[in-house]
Chain A
Amino acid sequence: MKKVSISFTLNGDEVTAEVPPSWTLLKTLREYFELTGAKEGCGAGECGACTVIIDGEAVNSCIYPIPEVEGKSVTTIEGIAGKDGTLHPLQKAFIENNGVQCGFCTSGMIMSAKSLLDRNPAPTRDEIRKSIAGNLCRCTGYVQIVESIEKAAEMIKGAK
């Protein structure tokens, strides 16, 4: 199988992947870089379990062709804690407010929420709900997730 060489920034590091051009970003993250935080739920843009942030925007990595990542900056759930292991406020808030049950949707939820909070540090409940409309959760019923995101926004505000 033909391979291409794609260079980009992954969680702050300059990386190069040698993969077939037909691979998606999700497959490359999971099988080439062995970063398994982003999950494959549907593989078709419907569930959001594969959500990562590219150049500040949340996208579904399962339908993102790897050649399009050339030169871009990708952030995954593995890249949002501090280098010393300090959890991101969203991670803390999800743990403390029962935003996680089975965990399958969690990394995608947190990445969607992060792309919201990075742009809008004080979102309304409605803005939060809209920002995670593309992330399915089969466990929590969403209430604790929305609360976790609200708490994270407060934590970020308090820290400033």
Chain B
Amino acid sequence: MMDYDYMKPASMKEVFTLLKEYGPKATLIAGGTDVMVNIRNRELSPEVLISLRGLHELRYIRKNDGYHIGALTTHRMLEQSDMVKGELSALHDAASQLGSVQVRNVATVGGNICNAAPSADTAGPLLALDATVVLEGPDGRRSVPIADFFTGPSKTVRKGDEVLVEFHIPEAPGRFGSAYWKHARRRAMDLPLLGLAVGLALSESREIFDARIGLTVAAPVPMRAHKAEEFLKGKPLEAEVLEEAGEIASSEASPRDSLRSKAWYRREMIAVFVPRMVRLAAERIRDK
């Protein structure tokens, strides 16, 4: 068994002091559901774990000037929030299907995004909700659109001395709804072989006013299907339109063959599920 030291600072200031002191010998830990497993698998061998769980002020879901979600917010908190369910539905869809109750009780949304697995369940919804990632370092804060946050599998623009503190989601334009489809072989305890999130705004005349499509496991990093989004804008919610958007999104993606699925299958499923998730998002607008 690995031996390491464990620090639990009570303030951001202390976190930065410890990060400076230990540098690359230290690893940040939030819920630990990736970190503890990676240590056990010997993929990670830190000398020190610096826990963020003492930063209680980073656990929140708030609405004012859009939505603010603290990095330490657990998936269980997202799952149980009526506001998230009603107004940020895609994020509810993802959080409520991540791992098990035991995992969701401790795993955080900040950890899911910083871990940057190509299959991270909250990445697609955060893309479709146009979230901004707020990072804090010793010299202050900076904001990065989530679409620019991931640079490769397990790689992000976060610097070693920065902590992800918050996600900011702008107030959606007009009548807005969202939905996430986790395409997995089993209904529980499985990673998606494809993740597909849609954020949709409709005009009074029920034309598509704005559309955002977030795809995961569809390319080396989570991506937006910009061409399909542009195609949808100004169009009516009709079957041929949605099908064509699905085909466009499918051709924009660059999925790989992997153990869990083949590239061709992922492409076909993108074409199938773009229309379905657009329709589900639209139904959710109607139900409001």
- Seen from chain A, the residues whose Cβ lies within 8 Å of a Cβ on chain B are 1-2, 4, 20-22, 24, 43-46, 48, 51, 57-60, 63-65, 67-68, 70, 112, 115, 130-131, 133-135
Contacts and interface: CB of A to CB of B under 8 A. Distances in A.
Interface string B44-56: 0000010101000
B6 A45 contact: no
A154 B1 CA distance: 44
A4 B6 contact: yes
A129 to B, nearest CB: 8
A135 B102 CA distance: 9
Interface of B: 1-6, 8, 29, 32-33, 36-37, 40-41, 49, 51, 53, 76, 99-103, 105-106, 187-189
A103 B127 CA distance: 44
Contacts of B8: 67-68, 70
7 contacts: A44-B37, A45-B103, A59-B102, A60-B102, A63-B37, A65-B29, A133-B101
B51 A43 contact: no
Which of B29, B37, B53, B100 has the most A CB atoms < 10 Å from its CB?
A: B100
Nearest to A50: B102
A51 to B, nearest CB: 6
Given A59-B106, A65-B29, A130-B101, A1 B51 contact: no
Contacts of A45: 33, 36-37, 99-100, 102-103
Top-8 shortest CB links A-B: A134-B100, A133-B188, A21-B6, A63-B36, A57-B105, A67-B6, A60-B102, A44-B37
Nearest to A66: B6
A57 B73 CA distance: 15
A130 B14 CA distance: 39
B99 A134 contact: yes
B45 to A, nearest CB: 11
A46 B189 CA distance: 8
Contacts of B99: 45, 134
A66 B105 CA distance: 16
A22 B3 contact: yes
A2 B99 CA distance: 33
Nearest to A111: B102
Given A1-B3, A65-B6, A67-B8, A24 B102 contact: no
A46 B102 CA distance: 10
Nearest to B76: A57
Contacts of A63: 32-33, 36-37, 40
A60 B4 CA distance: 20
B103 A60 contact: yes
Contacts of A43: 40
A112 B101 CA distance: 8
B101 A131 contact: yes
A117 B1 CA distance: 36
B102 A68 contact: no
A120 B269 CA distance: 37
A110 to B, nearest CB: 13
Given A24-B36, A57-B105, A65-B29, A48 B3 contact: no
